[in-house]
Copies of this chain bind each other. A is one copy, B any other.
Amino acid sequence: MAEEPRLHVVIPAGGSGTRLWPLSRASRPKFLHALTGTGRTLLQETVDRMAGLAPQSQVHVVTGVTHAAAVARQLPDVPEDNLFVEPSPRDSCAAIALAAAVIGSREPGALMGAFPADHMIGDVDRFRAVVRQAAAVAAEGRLTTIGITPTRPEVGYGYLRTGESLPSGGGLRVAEFKEKPSYDVAAAYLKSGDYLWNAGMFLWRVSDFLDELSRQRPDMHAGVSRIAGAWDSGARDAVLAEAWPRLEKISVDYAVMEGAAAAGRVATVPGDFAWNDIGDFRALGDMLPADESRNVVIGAGDTLLADVEDVVVAPVPGRLLAALGVRDLVIVDTEDAVLVCHRDRAQDVKKLVDALRDRGDTDHV
């Protein structure tokens, strides 16, 4: 029997996190920000969490041209060869398939784990134990996803419907991927015990993923294979310029995972390590420690709060954020914009960003 395959971590670092505007911008998305009080950015925390699972020589990041320099500087110990810069955004399937193909060309027997750059995880030891368990399930040939045990009828996430237990490793079959549900459907999911949140964390042998990609999306497979073949050569730029724009713009869930689940090839290991994808400031405030008036201060800046309760404030260094006699607000200050939002409307902040785009404001989005 061959030696145990090495785990290669892939961190897709894309998207702008518009619900965290104006802190998160297209030019400075949420994964580049320190939001959790540790002084480390979400991207850095994602890498930090991999300690003990994979050395940084086996950590890879897929990001866009706009953020390549910031990613490189935030992660000085990740080798340059492991920073994959997409010429343009082509959604998650292209990003993950590119990483799989390049890693596969470098180490055909590699195990790969994909972990988004902008999640918060409460219990890191538990997280690592679940990842190890999922790696063992993946090593047996299944496309394996980490499903989060739901704690509330959340309508903001997709779900996994689980099937029978697998013979080994504590995994379950994934019977079906489910879109974001209505509230009533989410409540029924929660009650049934048969559904997990789809957290976008996947583990598989690179060869298994590429086989499934080839079966379901042969054009995508051919494209990324061609790019991967040229990646570690002087032809990378030329092949990328020609092949990358032709890749289908589609999420990995739609492109590969749903069809693989239908074919019985997807497993899941449930995780219960306090997970949050930090969709908006309310969610972020709920995750962070509050003061005795239930106010949460994000980041390091000067604040003066008088008769203020249940407020999430994000000051910015060099400016003063003062509030008097208010409650249930989100107040986010930045170098060039300030947002005041009712806490219950935090998820609608993305509509403000849409409104800014509509009026042609490229300075603030």
- Measured CB to CB, the residues of A under 8 A from B are 22, 302, 304, 306-307, 318-326, 329, 331, 333, 336-342, 344-345, 348-349, 351-352, 355-356, 361, 363-364
5 new A-B contacts at CB < 8 Å, known A322-B339, A331-B338: A307-B345, A324-B351, A325-B344, A326-B340, A326-B341
A327 to chain B: closest residue by CB: B342
Chain B residue contacts of A349, Cβ below 8 A? 324
- A306 and B351 contacting across the interface, CB-CB below 8 Å: yes
- A304 and B342 contacting across the interface, CB-CB below 8 Å: no
Chain B residue contacts of A318, Cβ below 8 A? 336
Q: Determine which residue in A320, A342, A363 has the highest number of CB atoms from chain B within 10 A of its CB, and name it.
A: A320
- A304 and B356 contacting across the interface, CB-CB below 8 Å: yes
A361 to B304, CA, bound (A): 11
A352 to B324, CA, bound (A): 8
- A320 and B336 contacting across the interface, CB-CB below 8 Å: yes
Chain B residue contacts of A348, Cβ below 8 A? 306, 324-325
- The residue from B306, B319, B320, B337 contacting A320, defined by CB atoms under 8 A apart: B337
- B341 and A323 contacting across the interface, CB-CB below 8 Å: yes
A176 vs chain B, min Cβ distance (A): 36
A342 to chain B: closest residue by CB: B325
- A320 and B355 contacting across the interface, CB-CB below 8 Å: no
- B338 and A325 contacting across the interface, CB-CB below 8 Å: no
19 example contacts (A-B, Cβ-Cβ < 8 A) are as follows A22-B320, A304-B352, A304-B355, A306-B351, A318-B336, A319-B338, A320-B338, A320-B361, A321-B337, A322-B340, A324-B339, A324-B341, A324-B345, A324-B351, A325-B341, A325-B344, A326-B329, A326-B342, A340-B340
Q: Determine which residue in A318, A321, A341, A364 has the highest number of CB atoms from chain B within 10 A of its CB, and name it.
A: A341
A293 vs chain B, min Cβ distance (A): 15
A333 to B302, CA, bound (A): 15
A319 to chain B: closest residue by CB: B336
Shortest beta-carbon contacts, A-B, top 6: A325-B345, A320-B337, A325-B342, A324-B341, A323-B340, A322-B339
A39 to B333, CA, bound (A): 27
Chain B residue contacts of A363, Cβ below 8 A? 320
Chain B residue contacts of A322, Cβ below 8 A? 22, 337-340, 352
A356 to B320, CA, bound (A): 10
Chain B residue contacts of A323, Cβ below 8 A? 339-341
A352 to B356, CA, bound (A): 33
A320 to B338, CA, bound (A): 6
- A337 and B319 contacting across the interface, CB-CB below 8 Å: yes
A13 to B270, CA, bound (A): 70
A305 vs chain B, min Cβ distance (A): 10
A321 vs chain B, min Cβ distance (A): 6
Chain B residue contacts of A355, Cβ below 8 A? 304, 306
A306 to chain B: closest residue by CB: B352
